[in-house]
Structure 1
């Protein structure tokens, strides 16, 4: 079976080092299923590893992509019921390819009511939001989000309200996000309005931050010491130094929690996620053919983007 994949053989900017390569797919390993991919999104978590930021965890050559949806075309006898069904082929190979192999126990069946465009984005951001809200509950608290127009933040905001947060404020850089945040029940605040940002930080009980850098420092400097600051990303590309007067800072990296999830807990988590996703606002999508992956990356990098680029592989 021939398989075409987006591979990188050295670290660097994705636009420079990614290549479409076609090769014979290796035989299926015992206990694995084979999935013919339908769609896969472009996320920061897909692109950052290609640059070499996590080179100590990556063996080259590698296939890009961490999530997506596909249809099972081969399975061991113990998982024969999965053949023909849509699944998320997680914790296996890179997903930016035609065929992905993964352990049958970690493949997440997709309910018939969930469209491909939503299922393809049901892992990285939804699971991260679900885990953070489980670890740092928002019930009865005033919540502040940074990078509020991002996929993870809009889920964090909606799900925090679902879990009993009293108010959720969202800091955004582009004005195009303000109306869509209001429609989700998230109160928008412009990142440029630093006085309002500091005032909200001082009144917030918990902050979920995806930016780091100067914005994180401004928020931390204004927060009450009894509050909690959860850092789950550095979209600014700038780290920040902790100071004694800052409140408690919690570092969240999704990979630190995945190994601790048993197959049963893994499947159970998605029972919650499917129902929550179905009842939530999420970003619209722009479909681009797998052969035009460069345009998908360019679309992802557009300032003020409100649509998630999806590679249409199937």
Structure 2
């Protein structure tokens, strides 16, 4: 049996360095599951490592992709009950391939009432949002989101409201996001409206920032000193300087928390995620066959995009 995978053997722009490669499946390692993939999304966290931004912790060659959903085809003795069931094959191989081998104890079973295209996106953004809200609680606070049209931000906004945030504002670049954010209870703020952003930031208690750069600096310059600024991404490609000793700035990287989770705690995080995700608004999925991965990457980069490109691994 052969596998088709998107490999990169050098760092660079994903369109240039990703290459589809076919090879026979090897022996399944002890303690691992073999999963026939169904869907895997395209996220910033998938693309950034390919560029070499994290080369110190990205050994080459590598298969791209960090999350997805598939059906278990082989399992070791303690996990044979998972054969034929859907799982998230996490913390193992790259997921942009038709078959993924993963540590059996870290595979996350998918509830029957969760659609596969939603399950494929249940890791990176939902877990990051859940952990940020646990470590930097929004209850009773005024919350400001940057890159508010992104998948992580829309979950942060909805779940912050559920956790008792006083108000949630979302800064967006494209007007197509305004109506969608408003329907989620997130007050839309155009990124071009610098005066309004400044007035809101001056009264904000917690910022969840995914952009960095000039926008982050502008917000930090006017935030109350007792506020909390949580940076979890640099989508602008630019870092930022804090020109005042306060407010406090925290850098959130999900990888820093994973090693501290026991297997039981890891599974418990998803037990909390499933009902929240099922009851939340999320970006709709636009499906592309694995063989059309370049189209999926192009769609991901479209300005004002409201859908999530997802690779169908069996098409």
| TM-score, length-scaled by structure 1 | 0.99
Residue by residue, what CA displacement relative to the aligned partner does 1:119-170 show, whole Å, maximum 9, x if unpaired? 0000000000000000000011010000000000000000000011010000
Confirm or deny that 1:89 pairs with 2:82: no
1:10 is matched with 10
- Secondary structure of 2:94's counterpart equals coil
Q: CA deviation at 1:59?
A: 1.2
In structure 2, the gaps of 5 or more residues are: none
1:50 is matched with 50
1:60 is matched with 60
Paired residues, number: 314
Q: CA deviation at 1:26?
A: 1.8
Q: CA deviation at 1:270?
A: 0.4
Pairwise CA RMSD:
0.6
Distance 1:194 1:242 in 2: 18
Distance 1:286 1:142 in 2: 33
Residue by residue, what CA displacement relative to the aligned partner does 1:154-209 show, whole Å, maximum 9, x if unpaired? 00000000011010000000000000001000000000000100111011100000
Q: CA deviation at 1:241?
A: 1.4
1:182 is matched with 182
Check whether the contact 1:170–1:189 (CA below 8 A) recurs between aligned residues: yes
1:98 is matched with 98
- Secondary structure of 1:311's counterpart equals strand
Aligned pairs for 1:115-126 within 5 A = 115-126=115-126
Distance 1:240 1:204 in 2: 19
- Secondary structure of 1:100's counterpart equals strand
1:271 is matched with 271
Distance 2:170 2:240 in 1: 21
Distance 2:68 2:127 in 1: 13
Aligned pairs for 1:1-314 within 5 A = 1-314=1-314
Q: Which runs of 4+ in 1 moved over 6 A?
A: none
Check whether the contact 1:221–1:246 (CA below 8 A) recurs between aligned residues: no
Distance 1:243 1:81 in 2: 56
| TM-score, length-scaled by structure 2 | 0.99
Distance 2:236 2:59 in 1: 27
Residue by residue, what CA displacement relative to the aligned partner does 1:246-267 show, whole Å, maximum 9, x if unpaired? 4100000011011111110010
Distance 1:188 1:240 in 2: 24
Residue by residue, what CA displacement relative to the aligned partner does 1:103-125 show, whole Å, maximum 9, x if unpaired? 11100000010001100000000
- Secondary structure of 2:195's counterpart equals helix
In structure 1, the gaps of 5 or more residues are: none
Distance 1:204 1:26 in 2: 53
